[in-house]
Structure 1
Amino acid sequence: MIQLLDKVLSFINYWWFRYLMITELYMVESWERVTIHVFLFVIFLLQWYFNCKVVLPFTGSLFGIQPVEQQLAGVARSHPN
């Protein structure tokens, strides 16, 4: 179990190091690095929200797919308790 944890941590450290090298964040001060990470995280969350609230309903309407909430409501109405 310890070896597996060491391998996982080594893998994460390797990719974290690559990320810092590619983005050149290893050269900036820690407060700048935190600011950039927060900015990238916010951009990621905004993209995720946009995809869930705009892209998925739009593509679903193109292909005639109902949202899950409407499907569940239809199932609940058709099966009385």
Structure 2
Amino acid sequence: MTVSLVLACIWAVVASVIAMLPNRIHWPAAYALIVVGIPILGFVTYQNGPIMGLLVLAGGVSILRWPVLFLFRWLRGQVTGQPAE
């Protein structure tokens, strides 16, 4: 297993531990996980190819599903000109 996949696994474990913490910690931790996760995703893609990068991206999206959902709602509002719900 490459270093990038080990880092991605550590990221997933940390995200799972954060999910067990109180709700007031979730959003700041989600922002931190996104900031740390993007370079890890690039590193995984660089070392293991685009297929593995897409698999790690899918895993990250499944863990951080609410920030991704809010991002898609915001983008839809920007495209259609309607405020996000």
Q: Normalising by structure 2, what TM-score?
A: 0.29
Compare relative contact order (CA 8 Å, sep 6+) and give the higher one, 1 or 2.
Answer: 2
Q: Normalising by structure 1, what TM-score?
A: 0.30
